[in-house]
Structure 1
């Protein structure tokens, strides 16, 4: 695969065809990409809500009814699927233990001392952000955006159109999905599906700053 062609052909979708749905097989591939997305010290501080029913999309669309976000309401309603990317609200010891135990079950520690070494290392960085930098929430949300980038590129490789969406009222999404009680908060959404003929962005040339202004090779 020529991955540059994936990057060059990808367009942020501005209008979806509600009659076209992403296949269950492709959804499973995208779920795998999200599950295996990289994160700092493999902390995996995320949860993903995959929304596909009309009723559930109507609930999400409430968060885009305000005039500030109105352009995103039809994207949410007409997309085949919408993924809500959530970050944890704390990097607590229970989560760190769950990650460590899963690594153990998956055979990440061929030597007995490896598990303790991993525990100390991850706890050090979690503590650094919690106590010294005091930016744990920001740190976790940055990991969520790594997963978003992974999804967008993977969707394009599968021929699926996508739209990253930050323009929504997070409080409404948090309430609709009862995120606070689950120790989660919404960060960003991604609409997935297939563009309609009304997508003005489909045939416009991509535009990026010149390579010579972006790269310095030393």
Structure 2
């Protein structure tokens, strides 16, 4: 399938086949896709938690509005952001730039100074909201890559971040859960599987200015 056909094939799975599991190679593709996601200034203020443990998935179920995809899925992805974000992340980023690109200080320093000031002038709430927006970019990227690989998924906002943080012990890693993505393979008896996709006509959703 080409990418448009893949996207037409994709839907938010309501029931996963519990007998099917993603391969190690498929998980590696999704990990790489997450890591290659575009983020503001390339700072990557995100972390992906990958869970393949039915006991943990069961523990998270009551904190996910009892959506059964949480336990049915081959793997459960949890996209997180840092609970407390500082300009230290800028320092870490530019150390990586120098390591990979060997960029001279006189080229790096002006941009580094700008980004440091941008972060330091914002409140933690502003930084949290900004970084949470980056998580949605990563989610969209993962959905597209899943579709391209014919891996099923179901993006979720309906869960308790506080309880996820508690069960997964995320606070000790300065992380908080913001989005959930069960991945796997659709069940043959998922009632949504063969329903036509409902979308507006292109001329309703796209405005071209010439």
Q: Name the residue aligned to 1:36.
A: 36
Q: Name the residue aligned to 1:95.
A: 89
Q: Name the residue aligned to 2:111.
A: 118
Q: How does 1:125-204 map to 2 (within 5 A)?
A: 125-127=118-120, 130-131=122-123, 135-204=126-195
Q: TM-score, normalised by structure 2?
A: 0.92
Q: Name the residue aligned to 1:107.
A: 101
CA RMSD of aligned residues (A): 1.8
Q: Name the residue aligned to 1:46.
A: 46
Taking the aligned partners of 2:38 and 2:129, their CA distance within structure 1 comes to 16
Say whether the 8 Å CA contact 2:87–2:119 is kept in structure 1: no
Taking the aligned partners of 1:57 and 1:188, their CA distance within structure 2 comes to 15
Say whether the 8 Å CA contact 1:163–1:190 is kept in structure 2: yes
Taking the aligned partners of 1:37 and 1:30, their CA distance within structure 2 comes to 11
Structure 1 gaps of 5+ residues are none
1:61 has 2:55 as partner: no
Deviation digits for residues 52-101 of structure 1 (CA, Å, limit 9, x no counterpart): 1212212322312xxxx12x1x1011100010000112321222211221
Say whether the 8 Å CA contact 2:52–2:74 is kept in structure 1: yes
Structure 2 gaps of 5+ residues are none
Q: Name the residue aligned to 1:24.
A: 24
| Aligned-residue offset at 1:213 | 1.6
Q: TM-score, normalised by structure 1?
A: 0.89
Question: Secondary structure in 2 aligned to 1:91?
Answer: coil
Deviation digits for residues 87-128 of structure 1 (CA, Å, limit 9, x no counterpart): 11232122221122112211162x442221331232243245
Say whether the 8 Å CA contact 1:62–1:172 is kept in structure 2: no
Q: Which runs of 4+ in 1 moved over 3 A?
A: none
Equivalent pairs counted in the alignment come to 209
| Aligned-residue offset at 1:134 | 5.8
Q: Name the residue aligned to 1:79.
A: 73
Say whether the 8 Å CA contact 1:10–1:156 is kept in structure 2: yes
